[in-house]
Chain A
Amino acid sequence: MNLYLRYVKMVFRCQMQYRVSFLLTMLAQMLIPFSVFAGMLLLFQRFHLLGSWQVDEVMLCFAVIHMAFALSECFARGFDMFAQVVSQGEFDRILVRPRGTVLQVLGARFEFSRMGRLCLSVVVMGIAVSRLSIAWNPLKVLSLVLMVSCGTLVFAGIFMLAATLCFWTLQGLEVVNIFTDGGREMAQYPLDIYKKEITRFFTFVIPFGMVNYLPLRYLLDRPGSMAWHALLPLCATLFLVPCVLLWRFGVRRYQSAGS
């Protein structure tokens, strides 16, 4: 953990060397989710309701998933860029060091400019929370924190799976975007608006539903939601177990591509 923090500090300082470029990239990074958010608001302006959901409720949903995505893009970026590491044979260097592979890959890169998305989602969450009249209690606060943090872990798990694939394909695959970008876009709306099969897939296989839709229902005291739904995000972290196992398997099977 100590080593990880040191990695974070080092990369942060490194990126701060180009301060103007950093700030501009951050602004541009904010623009992309902002346009999606604006599209959502405009749809609500025209249609007023999405199923049984109101605009503020969906805003909270949006904020949670984008926050989780931004955090994991920022901290698990090493896995996102992993195709390069493998195809250039740099992974050999990681293997010979006496530290865990996961830690080193994670530490290789942080993309702090992704904070642009984070800033936007913090603002959106602020607006949503202030306009919704949620009866807050300790469990609900805990639940909201868990939603964001466990959501980050779920996205990190997907990034990790994508990186694991690179051991075999040597190249990043665009299909993975379905689960990262696609998952984010999908889970920014409450999952019950989709077809049953898709809701199920994104609840039980890739547990976006557990970090966002189900606990959100509890936060908003929707009929049929129970208090234990608040702790479902913890369940979602089980998703990481097969991810890590597969990663280990991939590392063992790795044949260097370098010379």
Chain B
Amino acid sequence: MRKGNAAAYFSSFRIRLMQNLQYRVAALAGLMTQFFWGFMLIMILEAFYRNSDASIPMSLPQLASYIWLQQAFLVFVALWFRDPEMFGMITSGNVAYELCRPTNLYYFWHVRLLAQRISGAALRCVPILLVATLLPDPYRLRPPADLAAFLLFLLTLFTGVLINVSISMFIYILTFVTLSPVGSLMIIGTVGEFCSGMILPIPLMPEWLRNIVMVLPFRLAGDLPFRIWSGHIGMQEALTGFLTQLLWLGALMFFGQLSMRKVLNKAVLQGG
């Protein structure tokens, strides 16, 4: 990064943030959907828990907190959350204008996506968290286990978004090659959704599947911070989790930049 560039990245970040905070009605609509979704998931799991023996690795109240956090920070976790404008730029060739800027395109888009996710979550998370703590008991979101857990939650949550943005950067990079984001978005989105525990909470997965999912980076964005919050993951394990996050983040960003450079060298600009 050259000197003075940090300011450019920061202002790009700020512009996106302000832009997205405009869509308040859309956020409200999303909020309703997420409340419904959270309730439904908890009700289904509650029904399953009714005839369970004691061998379940996560209690229902813990699970309820896990699901509300998932809903509150959905925009942080979901890989299918995308920026259609950027896909448009790639397929129409307008990306040429972006390349003219004296900034590194990888970082430039990285902060752009980051800002979108943060603004998306900023509007949604507070009302969901607030209302979810006031619900009657099996559905209630419990406060974090203790202060240290809360701080670690914030730390891992933020690193998690960075990881998620780095993963989704690959979808944009792939679009330079395929020119249509539909397929890769759907496949990476679905695999990511499953492996981050959005469909079936990771603690409830059978042993063999959990072993696979734990090696992949997808769980680091949601599952890890959410379980730190509920105290399901202890301090020691949480710190190891954080280190794993840093390693993955480094690797993903390194390979992301590498492949970005590669596709840009080969890129054929569509359009005149």
* Chain A residues near B45 (CB-CB < 8 A): 43
In the complex, the answer to whether A28 meets B187 with C-beta atoms within 8 Å is: yes
User: In the complex, what residues of A have CB within 8 A of residue B159's CB?
Assistant: none
* B220 to A: closest C-beta gap in Å: 19
Q: Is B109 in the interface zone, CB < 8 Å from A? A: no
A173–B183 touching, CB < 8 Å: no
**B103 in the interface, Cβ–Cβ < 8 Å?**
no
What are 28 of the A-B contact pairs (CB < 8 Å)? A24-B183, A28-B182, A28-B187, A28-B190, A31-B186, A31-B191, A38-B200, A39-B199, A42-B200, A42-B205, A42-B209, A43-B200, A43-B204, A45-B206, A46-B48, A47-B49, A47-B51, A178-B32, A178-B36, A182-B33, A182-B37, A185-B37, A186-B40, A193-B44, A193-B47, A194-B40, A194-B43, A194-B47
Residues of B within 8 A of A46 (CB): 48, 52, 56, 204, 206
> Besides the contacts A43-B48, A193-B47, what 15 more A-B pairs have beta carbons closer than 8 Å?
A29-B186, A31-B191, A36-B199, A42-B204, A43-B45, A45-B206, A46-B206, A47-B49, A50-B47, A50-B48, A174-B26, A174-B30, A193-B43, A193-B44, A194-B43
Which of A173, A174, A185 neighbours the largest number of chain B CB atoms within 10 Å of its CB? A174
Task: Count residues on chain A whose CB falls below 8 Å from chain B CBs.
Answer: 33
Is A47 within 8 A of B48, CB to CB? Answer: yes
Asked if A51 and B50 make an inter-chain contact with CB atoms under 8 angstroms apart, the answer reads yes
B12 within 8 A of A: no
Residues on A with beta carbons closer than 8 Å to the beta carbon of B29: 173-175
Interface-central residue, B30, B37, B47, B52, by most chain A CB under 10 Å: B47
Chain A, residue nearest B43 (CB)? A194
A144-186: which residues lie under 8 A (CB-CB) from chain B?
173-175, 177-178, 182, 185-186
Total A-B residue pairs with C-beta atoms closer than 8 Å?
85
B190 A175 Cβ-Cβ under 8 A: no
What distance in Å separates the Cβ of B158 from its nearest Cβ neighbour in chain A? 26
Q: Which residues of B contact A38 (CB under 8 A)?
A: 194, 199-200
Min CB gap B91→A, angstroms: 14
Whether B48 contacts A32 by the Cβ 8 Å rule is no
B200 touches A182 (CB 8 A): no
Bound-state CA distance A236–B48 (Å) is 28
Shortest distance between the CB of A49 and any CB in chain B (Å): 5
What chain A residues lie within 8 Å of B194 (beta carbons)? 35, 38-39
Nearest 6 CB-CB pairs, A to B?
A193-B47, A39-B200, A28-B186, A174-B29, A39-B199, A47-B48
* Alpha-carbon gap, A38 to B194, bound state (A): 9
